[in-house]
Amino acid sequence: MSSDCCAPSSNIMILSCSGGSNVGQLANQASVELTQEGFGKMFCLAGIGGHLSGFVQSAKDVPTMVVIDGCSVGCAKAIIEHAEIPLGHYLVLTDLGVEKNKNFTLDRQLIERVKDAVKAACASAPQGGGRAATTSCCA
């Protein structure tokens, strides 16, 4: 872990929807950018959905997880629950006021808003689903 506990961490697993709407693609793009910026690491939700043992075990073992769904259908959440993995931090982009549509031209301001929401979720609330909470000076 970094010497500054408020700094971005590679110990955060990011699992996101990448569904066939703007909000799915927005969740995916925010996850890619957070990973590129060093705030956690995007992980393969499809591997978990396929019940590939190494993927499932990695998700069970990670200290901090954030799951991002585009809409209230909750596909990413359903995958995590079906694999019997504690949910961790959870965001739904339509709950943030993003309207779901089929416009795949992603708005830079919305991407930044999602990234900020992910960072805030990881800094403020303890992990859900019975996961061990991580210690943070930012909480």
Whether residue 104 contacts residue 22, with contact meaning beta carbons closer than 8 Å, is answered with yes
- Laid out side by side, the sheet with 89-92 consists of 41-42, 12-16, 64-69, 89-92
Contact call for residues 111 and 104 (beta carbons, < 8 A): no
DSSP structural state of residue 98: P
Per-residue pLDDT in tens (0 to 9) along the chain, 139 residues = 333 333 445 689 999 999 999 999 999 999 999 999 999 999 999 999 999 999 999 999 999 999 999 999 999 999 999 999 999 899 999 999 999 999 999 999 999 999 999 999 998 756 544 343 332 322 2
What is the rounded CA–CA span in Å between residue 132 and residue 130? 6
Residue 104 DSSP SS3: coil
User: Is the whole-model pTM more than 0.75?
Assistant: yes
Annotate 10-77 with DSSP letters as a single string.
TTEEEEE---SSHHHHHHHHHHHHHHHTTSSEE--HHHHHTT-HHHHHHHHH-SEEEEEESSTT-HHH
